[in-house]
Structure 1
Amino acid sequence: MPDRLLLVDDHPVVRTGCRRLLASAGPYEIMEADTGSRALELCESEPPDAVVLDLGLPDIGGLELLDRLRRAVPDIRVLVFSMHDDPVFAARALEAGARGYVTKNDAPEELVAAVETVLAGGIYLSRDMAREVAVMSFAPNRSPLQGLTARELRVLAELGQGNAIAEIADRLGVSYKTVSNTCTTIKTKLGARSIRELIRIAVEHRVSP
C-alpha cells in the first residue's frame, strides 16, 4: 500500500502545488486539511504515515497543533512546511516533536527529500537550516525569542499581524485576561515596556503564526 500523507495548509494553491509535486515523486495517498481542527479529525479517523504541516493556520497555532497531534497519535511523523525561515522556529518545531522542517522558500526537491526522509524514520533539515540551528545551540541567548513558549510565540505573532488583544483571545479561544497576562509575561521575558514594543519585536524578527 502507498504511504498516506496529510497536507495541512489553509492555502488551496499551496496544497495543490504540494499534491502535484509529491504525486509525481512517489505513489502516495494524499489527504488535505485547511484547518488544525480538520487535521486532528483526519489524524484520529484515518491516521496518516506522515503530516506536512504549515505553522500559520487560522484556528490553531502550528506549534500548538503539533503538540495536540502528537498527543492524539503518539507515533505520528510531522514535517513542518513553513514560510518562516528563522531557525528559532525550526528549533522549536523539533523540540515539540517535529521530524523535519522545510521552508516554502526552499527548492521543491527539498520537500520531496524531506518527506522521504521522515517516512523512512529520519529527521530532515536543509543544510543551511541545520547549520543555523547548530550555531544557535552554541549561542542560546542570540535570539530573544528562545525563552518564549509556543503559546507566547503565537500571541507575539498575532500582535505582529496587527491583531488587538480581544481579537487574539477570540482566535485562540481563551479569555481577554489570559492573553493580557501572556503579554505581560512576554514583556518581562523580552524586556519590553509596552505592547507597541512587542509589536516592533514581532515585526523585526518576522514572527509568524
Structure 2
Amino acid sequence: MKVLLVDDHAVVRSGLRRLLTALPEVRISEAANGRDALTLMRDERPALVILDLNLPGLGGLELLRRIVAEHSEARVVVLSMHAEVFYATRALRLGAAGYLSKNASPEELLQAVRRVSAGGRYIEAEIAQRLALGAAEIADPAQRLTERDLEIMRLLGDGQGLSEIADALGVSYKTVANTCSQIKAKLGVARTSDLVRLSLDGGVTAAR
C-alpha cells in the first residue's frame, strides 16, 4: 500500500514512518507542504494520505478539498493538532475518511489507518464522543455564521487587526472584539489565530 505523509515537521513524519512499518507492504512518501503533496499525489497515486491541517502556503483544508476532488480513489486520514469539534466536522464534510488529533495514541492511529485503508471511517474516540453529544448527525458549525461574521473573518485573514477591522466596518473596537468571541464560540475554537487560519484555508467560507 502506498501512503503519503503530509506534515511540515520532519520529526513528525519520521515518527509516523517508523510507526507505519508495523503494517505489511507499505511504501511511504513524504511532503512538507501542500504543493509538494499535490505533485506526489499525481506521481505516486497513494492509496492513503495522512494529512496535517497546519501547513505553510496551501492550507490543509484546501489541500484536503483538492485531494478529494482530484484523487477520489485516495483515502485521507487527518492527523491534526486541533482536537476541536469544528475542525473534525469540517474535515469530515470535505471528504476525510478519518480524523485524529496528535494526542491520539500510536495504537489508535494504527487502528484508524487499518480501518480507513479497508474502506471504513474512523474518528478519534474522544472527538467522536463530543460530536455525538453535540448532535445526532455531524452538523456544520459554519452554517451559524452571519454575513458580518464572515466579513470579519475575511479581514482577519487579510492580516488586519481588530482596530483596523472596526474602522473598516464603521463599528467600535468592542463590537468587533465581542463578535470575534461569538464567532469562536460558534465554531468551538479558542484562539483568534484559529479564525485567521480558517480564513486563510478557506475552511469556513468555501463550503457555505
Class of the TM-score when normalised by the shorter of the 2 chains = 0.7 to 0.9
Q: Which amino acid aligns with 1:164?
A: G
Query: How many matched pairs?
Result: 180
Aligned counterparts of 1:158 and 1:9: Cα–Cα separation in 2: 27
Aligned to 2:63: 65
How far apart, CA to CA, are the structure 2 residues paired with 1:137 and 1:107?
A: 26
Matched, 1:164 2:164: no
Trace 1:49-198 onto structure 2 (pairs within 5 A): 49-138=47-136, 145=142, 147=144, 156=153, 159=156, 164-165=159-160, 193-194=175-176, 198=180
Let me know the Cα RMSD of the aligned residues: 3.6
For residues 31 and 195 of structure 1, what CA distance do their matches in structure 2 show?
43
Q: Deviations over 1:27-50 (max 9, x none)?
A: 310000000111111111211010
User: What code does the residue aligned with 1:147 have?
Assistant: R
Tell me what 2:4 maps to. 6
TM-score, with normalisation over the residues of structure 2? 0.72
Percent identity of the aligned residues? 41
Q: Which amino acid aligns with 1:205?
A: A
From the superposition, tell whether residues 94 and 165 of structure 1 become closer, same or farther in structure 2 (CA, over 3 Å).
same
Structure 1 runs, 4 residues or longer, greater than 4 Å off: 138-141, 143-146, 155-160, 199-204
Shift of 1:197: 5.0
**Partner residue, 2:24:** 26
Return 5+ residue gaps in structure 2 as ranges: 198-208
Asked if the contact 1:99/1:123 (under 8 Å) is kept, the reply is yes
CA distance in 1, matches of 2:176, 2:101: 31
Question: 1:9–1:97: structure 2 CA closer, same or farther, 3 Å change rule?
Answer: same
Task: Tell me how far 1:145 sits from its aligned partner.
Answer: 4.9
Structure-2 change in CA distance of 1:104 and 1:47 (3 Å): same
| Cα displacement (A) at 1:75 | 2.1
The CA deviation at 1:193 is: 3.3
Offset, 1:89? 1.0
CA distance in 2, matches of 1:5, 1:164: 35
Q: Cα distance 1:140–1:113, how it changes in 2: closer, same or farther (>3 A)?
A: closer
5+ long unaligned stretches in structure 1? 167-179, 185-191
